[in-house]
Amino acid sequence: MKRRKKHNKYERWARIGRMSVRDKAILWLPGIKENASILINDITHKPAVCTQGTLSALSDIAFLWSINCAVFCRDEFGINYMQTITVSARAPYRRKSLDDIMTTRHQALIQSCNSNHFLAAGWLASPNGIEYDDVASEAIYDKFGCWEHLTPAEFENGKEESE
């Protein structure tokens, strides 16, 4: 006769948590909700409701994260462009353990872009390991207003014209 597995509260909670974020991603862009990150639906690319259970699942359960870091730039001719790096975890990690690694990688990406073209920086993180190509990630970033900032040169020109 086959014996049943023992009840494990953590494993049950982890399965429920993984199901609650199966079609979600986390987006951070400056200017959205006072620089807070927002939860978006991965299919519709619209903001999703973040419950307490979803929030605790994202912070306490280890996921196979895929994080797309981006820097948004505009050249002197007004052409927008984006530099990105995608970092995918090879093993499940909790969100907190990736903070330092991703901060250093994102800072390095920001330092590598032309400072006169710099508009903003942002990231898109998927707890399900979904890797976004440049076209898909740019569509999501654009939907939430990544190009609505001024470069340092545009800001200086605006100041001179107003004086």
- Domain membership of residue 151 (yes or no) is yes
- Domain membership of residue 2 (yes or no) is no
Higher local confidence (pLDDT), 104 or 5:
104
How many residues are present in the chain? 163
Q: Domain containing 133: what range?
A: 9-162
Q: How far is the C-alpha of 135 from the C-alpha of 139, rounded, in Å?
A: 6
- pTM beyond 0.75: the answer is yes
Could you give the number of structural domains in the chain? 1
- Domain membership of residue 138 (yes or no) is yes
In this predicted model, what pLDDT tens digit does every residue of 26-80 receive, in sequence order?
999 886 666 578 899 988 989 998 888 888 899 899 999 999 999 999 988 889 9
SS3 13: helix
Q: How far is the C-alpha of 95 from the C-alpha of 123, rounded, in Å?
A: 14
Q: What are phi and psi of 53, to 5 degrees?
A: -65, -40
- Domain membership of residue 92 (yes or no) is yes
For residue 163, pLDDT over 70 is answered with no
User: Any idea which of 1-10, 72-81, 117-126, 150-159 has the lowest mean pLDDT?
Assistant: 150-159
Q: How far is the C-alpha of 38 from the C-alpha of 55, rounded, in Å?
A: 11
- Domain membership of residue 52 (yes or no) is yes
Tell me what the pLDDT averaged over the chain comes to.
86
Q: How far is the C-alpha of 49 from the C-alpha of 40, rounded, in Å?
A: 8
